[in-house]
Amino acid sequence: MANDYKKALLSEIENRFGRLKRIPGSQSLFELAGGIRIYLRYSKIHGKGVAFFGLRLVDLTALEGHDSYICFFTDREEPLFIPYADFEGVIRQSPIASDGQYKAQLTYEPGTVEFYLPRVGHFNVDAFGGTETLAIAMCGANRELVPSLSHAQAQTLVGSIGSMKGYNIYVPPNNADLLDWSLVSPFRLVRSLPAYLEERSKFASEIDVIWIDHKRDTIAAAFEVEHSTPVYSGLLRFNDVMLASSAGSRFFVVSNESRRDLFVRQLQRPTFQRSGLCEVASFLDYDNVFNWHRRLAKIGGTP
């Protein structure tokens, strides 16, 4: 069955981008015209929307120095093309299993996908869905299309993403006038947080962006934009909010891609390991924010 999905995916890629050449020594490594390398990894989606993958060290080594993508594909969802250069550092921090592979997971939740590496952490990968990622790479336009975002612009895009996904959006009142409405279609801000949270944690109202599930009156996700401030301060605020509330929220540090490794190191502090924040905190870089917003706006949002 896996071979059927693989053949269909290879056919789709070739129909859109031209002939693929298999790289000798591997059944999973391919190269497109222009030297773009693709590493195919397949898994079924199991209970609770989780897919499990193995990444062979020898195959990852063949991606180094090339414009390369790890393609995770499943039996149900669209393929993901994750830029290897963006994630090489954090993959190498994960332990190698006894079979010589790094183990990775994708978790598919309503409207979002997360990449997880044991003993490292979670990373949002919504911006990398579908072969459009390869189309951008083929024209060499990915980095040029992504502007340099300010703190307020990142807040604005994260808020707009949440609004398109059907959530109510909260930002601190003293930040509301700083949002850049030239980037997004207008969305409404709520002025207060769920009562249970305001009663238990004075820190929650200081978080940069909060998505509120209005049907359940709970926090769906919280975002700290660490543009120039220490990543540790955002994680500490998340930790305080998590300990004050039993709600099952997700927490995201939003920053430059260059700070991804710092996020991983800080999340490995004993205090965050013991509290469990390491299991619910993710890193979201500015490029991902921009591309995620662009993708949702193009298809008219996600319910």
Task: Give residue 147's Cα distance to chain centre.
Answer: 18
Q: What is the DSSP letter of 75?
A: S
For residue 303, pLDDT over 50 is answered with: no
Q: What is the pLDDT of residue 140?
A: 58
For residue 141, pLDDT over 50 is answered with: no
Q: Which two tokens stand for residue 45?
A: 């989606």
Distance, CA of 242 to CA of 22 (rounded, Å): 47
Residue pair 190/212 in contact (Cβ under 8 Å)? The answer is yes
For residue 43, pLDDT over 90 is answered with: yes
Q: For the ranges 167-171, 189-193, 235-239, 246-250, which has the lowest average pLDDT?
A: 246-250
Q: What is the pLDDT of residue 86?
A: 85
Q: What is the pLDDT of residue 64?
A: 85
Strand 168-170 and strand 209-213: pairing?
antiparallel
84-123 tens-digit pLDDT: 988 988 898 899 999 989 999 999 987 789 999 998 999 9
166-188 tens-digit pLDDT: 899 999 999 999 999 999 999 99
Q: What is the pLDDT of residue 133?
A: 79
Distance, CA of 103 to CA of 302 (rounded, Å): 30
For residue 65, pLDDT over 80 is answered with: no
For residue 155, pLDDT over 60 is answered with: yes
Evaluate if pTM is beyond 0.85: no
Distance, CA of 207 to CA of 159 (rounded, Å): 12
As a whole-number percent, the residues of the chain with pLDDT over 90 amount to 45
The domains found in the chain, sorted by start residue, are: 2-144 (3.40.1350), 149-299 (no CATH)
Average pLDDT, the chain: 87
Total residues found in the chain within this entry: 303
Q: For the ranges 10-19, 90-99, 144-153, which has the lowest average pLDDT?
A: 144-153
For residue 40, pLDDT over 90 is answered with: yes
For residue 249, pLDDT over 90 is answered with: no
Q: What is the pLDDT of residue 218?
A: 81
For residue 286, pLDDT over 80 is answered with: yes
For residues 156-166, average pLDDT:
93
For residue 70, pLDDT over 90 is answered with: yes
For residue 248, pLDDT over 80 is answered with: no
91 HSE (CA, 13 A, CB side): 24
Specify the higher pLDDT residue, 144 or 173: 173
Q: What is the pLDDT of residue 7?
A: 92
188-234 tens-digit pLDDT: 999 888 777 766 657 788 899 999 888 777 888 899 999 878 898 89
Q: How does 78-89 read in b/e, with b if 16+ C-beta sit within 10 Å?
A: ebbbbbbebbee
For residue 280, pLDDT over 90 is answered with: no
